[in-house]
Amino acid sequence: MSSLLPRDTARPRLRRNALLSTLSLALLALAAGPARADAPTGRHAFPTTYDAEGNRLPRPEWDLSVRGYGQLLFAWYDYDLDQTRAGGAREASRLVFDTTRFTMEIEGALPFGLEFEAEVELEHHGAGAAVELEYDEFGEYEQEVEAGGEVVLEELFLAKSFGPLRLRLGRFYLGVGLLSELYRPTEYLAAARPESEQIVIPGVWDELGVEATLRLESVLLTLQVVNGLDSTGFSSATWISGGHQQRFELVSASDLAVVLRADWTPTPGLTVGASAYYGGTTRNRPKADLLPDCDDPGDTEVAPCGVVSADVLLVDGHVTVDLPPFTARAVALWGHLANAGAVSDRNARLSNNLAVPRTPIADEAFFAWLELGVDLAPTLGMDPGHHLEPFVRLEYYDTMFDVRDGVFDNPRFARAVSSVGVGWAYGDLVYAKLDWTHREVGAFEDGTDLRAEDGVRLGVGFTY
């Protein structure tokens, strides 16, 4: 529903044929099936072996499987796109149709337990060039190389289990919030993902690094060490979301981040947990430009007197309930950015070519969302496999939850969103969801009179 949902900025070398290349590779993988024992091999080919009766034994091969999902969204909104006006967005009547995303997840396993997974996501209508109207940047038109849509490699990792311990190396989802676990459309109730979690932090957040998970009966512990964010992308409207490194070909990991997460499942269908994220951002900026004053700067070191710390701390608590016919999800997250004033001052002087907002950044941000649903299909006597779930979702978020002296605490970034609707699904294969959404802009802020925003959304899609 939100026109402020964070978008990825331009990728300088994204090819227009990326979509075709991705689909071609996926189709080839599907068509080829498992590798043949007599297929061409490289210099480390397995030797040909035989059993006691002289029969040739098959070479080890990946056991492949493919799954994914597709989403479409049809929506009506009663407000204009320009939310920066004094009284809020003007009244309007807009229809929006969106091919939201199509994903393909390819998984492979070897007999001795080594696994890999790759997930490719096609968002909106492909890859190419498009123009966007940026009201947060004085109504300027900007051309984005990623746009029209984008092709994103969401996950790519190797994994190996050692009893209750599982290790992953590569690109994977971070254990922060709930969308890293509940991102498929059949796993949340409303017609679209919660906007609060997608705005305050990167939505369905993935990074590169290493992960260890340990299962101890009803408790799952997760430790992740990954690349940190890039603070040049931080802003008033989306706090740290724009710091997700997607503007350049290579990911800077000079500043790392650590994620700790614990999930307790006392009974099947009920999980209670918490997570914490802590990571630096300064050394991941494209240039070493966030530096303290230095008496002897020299010219042989990039940062002879160190850098200004801009560490990010996030803490969340979350609950999921799947006890038929009831479903519930809830999460609350608080975040803090160190030296937000220094980051804001330096970002304000960044080049226009970097395509970042350059707006003041809050010291703290907050979001919470809750959704509840009940499946009425058994009560109504519907055929097995069918589900009919009325639901309600409540959200609150503020990307300027706490600011330092001298910074305007813009009330329009404090928002409360209510969604009410009903969803139908046939197993986990196909679904349709219809909801009405109401957004209060300037929620719980004294002296604000910003126009509320309403919309009706129909989301349909499938999983395979």
> What pLDDT shows up at residue 25?
53
Cα separation, 73 vs 311, whole angstroms: 37
For residue 378, say if its preceding peptide bond is cis, omega within 30 degrees of 0: no
Q: Which two tokens stand for residue 31?
A: 């068509």
Q: Which two tokens stand for residue 59?
A: 């070479």
CATH class for the region spanning 68-99+158-463? mainly beta
Regions in the chain scoring below 50 on pLDDT: 2-3, 6-17, 20, 24, 27-28, 31, 35, 37, 129-131, 141, 147
> What pLDDT shows up at residue 10?
38
Classify residue 46 by its DSSP letter: P
Residue with token string 């123009």: 131
Nearest to residue 18, comparing CAs of 120, 107, 105? 120
> What pLDDT shows up at residue 454?
98
Which H or E element spans position 353?
none
> What pLDDT shows up at residue 112?
87
Cα separation, 411 vs 361, whole angstroms: 14
Are 416 and 403 a contacting pair, CB within 8 Å?
Answer: no
What is the reported pTM? 0.87
Cα separation, 179 vs 188, whole angstroms: 9
Residue with token string 């990307």: 399
Are 347 and 358 a contacting pair, CB within 8 Å?
Answer: yes
Residue with token string 């990571």: 279
